[in-house]
Amino acid sequence: MNATDRTPADLLRSALAADPARPLVTFYDDATGERVELSVATFANWVAKTANLLQDDLAAAPGDRLALLLPAHWQTAVWLVACSSVGVLADVGGDPAGADLVVSGPGTLEEARACTGERVALALRPLGGRFPQPPAGFADYAVEVPSQGDRFAPYAPVDPDEPALAVGGRELTGAQLVEQARADAARLGLGPGERILSGLPYDTWEGLAAGLYAPLAAGASVVLCRNLDALAPEDLDKRRESERVTVTAL
C-alpha cells in the first residue's frame, strides 16, 4: 500500500493498482454453507456500484451519517468502503433515529424504521440474492445495485480528516482509521500475501480491523467467517489449511 493513502477508499485503489486479481475477501456463512470469494477487482466493482447508489439514488453527501445495521459479511465490507468513497460516516450499529440514512439486514428492519431518511435493506442471502418479498419502506439492495455504474467518482472531494467510522463508542477520521489499520496489521503480523481468518463480529474496532481494514492496509486478504460456532474444531483446522491461512483472529 502507498504511504499517501489516507482513507479506506485510497487503500482499495492502491490494492487495485497493485494486483487486481488477488483474493481480498473470502466469506463463509457456516449456518448456510455459503462461500464467496471476491478478488480485489470484484470487490472494487461492488464498492463502485454501491457508492454510486449512495451518491446518486440515495443523495448521500460528505458528512452524512449512515446507520449500518449489518453483521460481519462481505456485503457489509463493501458498504464500509463505499461510505468512505462518498465521504459518508458509517455508524456501525448506530441509532437509525439519529442517522441521515440506514442500511439494515433482515433482522433489524423494525429498528431501522426509526430513520426518517432513505432506508436500504439487504437480505444477506447466498450470492447476494434479493428478498422474496421486498420489505415495505425499504429499497432492496440486491434489486438496486446491479444497474449502478462500474466506476465511481465523488461529486465532492473526500476530506480524510473528517469522521469516517463510528463503532463501539469510538469515532475515527479516514486518516486515523488508515493509521490504526496499519498499526493493527503490524500487531497481527500481516503483510503482503498473508491471509487472516477472522470469526470476530463487526461490532467492535477489533472485529473490523481483523475482518477488513488491517488486511486491506497490509496488502493481505481475509477469510471472513460468520456463524463459526456451527463449525467443528477439526473442520476449522481443515479450513485454515485449505484457505492457506497464516493468521487467525477468533
161 class by beta-carbon count within 10 Å (0-12 exposed, 13-18 middle, 19+ buried) = exposed
In a domain, 169, yes or no: yes
**CATH number, domain with residue 102:** 3.40.50.12780
Q: Residue 51: what pLDDT?
A: 98
- How many other β-carbons are positioned within 10 Å of the β-carbon of residue 21? 8
Q: What is the mean pLDDT of the chain?
A: 97
φ, ψ (nearest 5 deg) of residue 139: -85, 135
Q: Residue 203: what pLDDT?
A: 97
Mean pLDDT of 129-138: 95
Residue 71 lies in domain: 8-249
- Note whether 100 and 117 are within 8 A (CB): yes
In a domain, 2, yes or no: no
Q: Residue 144: what pLDDT?
A: 97
In a domain, 3, yes or no: no
Q: Residue 1: what pLDDT?
A: 65
Mean pLDDT of 51-78: 98
pTM: 0.97
- The upper half-sphere exposure of residue 89, i.e. CA atoms within 13 Å in the direction of its Cβ, equals 21
CA dist 250 and 208 (Å) reads: 12
* Number of domains making up the chain: 1
- The upper half-sphere exposure of residue 80, i.e. CA atoms within 13 Å in the direction of its Cβ, equals 31
Please report, as a single letter, which amino acid is at residue 58.
L
In a domain, 50, yes or no: yes
Q: Is residue 2 very low, low, confident or very high in pLDDT (cuts 50, 70, 90)?
A: confident
CB burial of 50-76 (b: ≥16 within 10 Å; e: otherwise) equals: bbbbbbeebebebebbbbbbbbbbbbb
